[in-house]
């Protein structure tokens, strides 16, 4: 199982709404993530808007490709895009995995 961690930056003035949106993630989005192989997926954030994501998956590239092919992901990403700073494209394209330097099992 691959452990993946990434960071994104939410605009500070949109952070409260970003948190609210994630308190009620659409059931069909949750189902699509699970079906695409996203497990133990968590998002954490600082008061300044730094978001740290963590998930476990068999193959991160495949999991992202599967999500990219879903209609619910297209809708979700379109709604989430305005929340972020300095993205090269859609939010999921900004999910660049961090290099793991230590793990204690």
Asked if residue 92 has pLDDT above 80, the reply is: no
Q: Quick check: 21 pLDDT over 80?
A: yes
Domain coordinates in residue numbering, the chain:
2-97
pLDDT (0 to 100) of residue 19: 97
Look up residue 91 and give its two tokens.
Answer: 């939010």
Check residue 38 and give its pLDDT: 98
CA distance 49 to 71: 27
- What's the pLDDT score for residue 87? 80
Looking at residues 9-28, what average pLDDT do you find? 96
pLDDT at 25 over 80: yes
In the chain, % of residues over pLDDT 70: 100
Give pTM, 2 decimals. 0.90
Q: Tell me how far apart the alpha carbons of residues 20 and 82 are, in angstroms, rounded to a whole number.
A: 15
Residue pair 94/8 in contact by the 8 Å Cβ criterion: yes
As annotated, the active-site residues are 22
**In the prediction, which pLDDT does 72 show?**
97
The answer regarding whether domain 2-97 maps to CATH 3.30.70.100 reads yes
CA distance 95 to 92: 5
**50 phi/psi in degrees, rounded to 5:** -75, 120
């Amino acid at each position: 199982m691959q452990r993946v961690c990434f960071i994104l930056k939410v605009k500070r003035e949109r952070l409260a709404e970003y948190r609210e949106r994630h308190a009620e993630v659409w059931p069909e989005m949750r189902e699509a993530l699970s079906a695409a192989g996203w497990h133990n997926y968590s998002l954490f954030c600082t008061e300044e808007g730094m978001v740290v994501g963590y998930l476990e998956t068999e193959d991160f590239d495949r999991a992202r490709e599967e999500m990219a092919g879903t209609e619910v992901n297209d809708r979700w990403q379109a709604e989430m895009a305005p929340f972020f700073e300095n993205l090269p494209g859609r939010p999921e394209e900004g999910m660049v995995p961090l290099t793991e330097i230590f793990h204690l099992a």
